[in-house]
Amino acid sequence: MAAPPPLASNEAILAAEQAPLHKWAAESEWNAPMEPFTIIGNVHYVGTKTISALLITTPKGHFLIDGVVPQSGPQIAANVAKLGYKMTDVKYLLNSHAHMDHAGGLAGLKMRSGAKMVASAADKPFLEAGDIGHGPSGGVKFPPVRVDRIIADGGTLRLGKTILKAHLTPGHSPGCTSWSMTAAGKTVFYHCSASVAGQSLKPEAYPGIVANFRATFAKTKAMKADVFLANHDIFFDLHAKRARQIAGETQAFVNPAELQEFNRIMEDAFEQRLKAEEAKAP
């Protein structure tokens, strides 16, 4: 059976890649270049200066997580090539969540790779609309990307000996998906994000946002990771670690305490924000 057609034409994707950056992207250097590098084992950083994209390579094909902004597709593809890999060997395209700064380049990456797009059921409609549809990012459009396969909480994808596991960590988006894997004997965890990011908690930006955040904090408290990765540089101190790695520290990205430190910071910020909004609400 022939694959269903893409939701954005090649012309529309190329036009979005050439379009001026959204003001948030320009202000926060979301599309500024960064040299690609290997984080640990077969896990590589192919994102921009401030937003992550991860390439996980295997002899049986590769995983590519996140597409950054719509203009980032060519840069990510060039980064994959710089590391000596082929975009056409990318078999699975994954996403942390359906905001423009992490999903924007996915359609362009799918166009270049032919990979299967795998996402949570709750974020699928937003990826396919090219718009999260609520909160401050609602109406900030990106080229829509067809989701070929839905992944549930605890679901896995395998290429060669590498297994990626999906952890649904909703809150920041309804279908926010974190990913874990083992690389070089270490547990690697890529966090979807747990920041409120200007979304209203009272009234709820989407139904269930408060319960989602609380369930995600409870769930991730029980988790352990040797290597904590996230989708904005500031969440995991990307540049300081990379500088230490360049200086010769091979385990610069290994810190088993970091996931729980991140959880604590995010949970405190969430509860404070909720209290402030409840105090203001009638």
Q: Could you list the residues that contact Zn ion (CB under 5 A)?
A: 99
Residues 6+ apart with CB under 8 A from 134: 199, 205, 206
Least separation in angstroms between residue 149's CB and Zn ion is: 22
* Residue spans of beta strands (DSSP E) within the chain: 37-40, 43-45, 54-56, 62-65, 90-94, 116-119, 149-150, 156-159, 162-168, 177-183, 186-191, 227-230
The SS3 of residue 5 is coil
- Give the residue with the Cβ less far from Zn ion, 99 or 241: 99
Least separation in angstroms between residue 97's CB and Zn ion is: 5
- Give the residue with the Cβ less far from Zn ion, 83 or 215: 215
Least separation in angstroms between residue 99's CB and Zn ion is: 3
- Give the residue with the Cβ less far from Zn ion, 99 or 134: 99
Choose among 275, 104, 135, 264: nearest CA to 206.
135
What region, left, alpha or beta, does residue 73 occupy, with left being phi > 0 and alpha being psi -120 to 50 degrees?
alpha
Residue at token pair 């979807």: 192
- Give the residue with the Cβ less far from Zn ion, 61 or 135: 135
Least separation in angstroms between residue 96's CB and Zn ion is: 8
Least separation in angstroms between residue 173's CB and Zn ion is: 6
Choose among 118, 138, 121: nearest CA to 130.
138
The CB-nearest residue to Zn ion is: 99
- Give the residue with the Cβ less far from Zn ion, 97 or 186: 97
- Give the residue with the Cβ less far from Zn ion, 80 or 100: 100
What region, left, alpha or beta, does residue 180 occupy, with left being phi > 0 and alpha being psi -120 to 50 degrees?
beta
Chain centroid to CA 6: 21
Least separation in angstroms between residue 152's CB and Zn ion is: 21
How many residues in total does the chain contain? 282
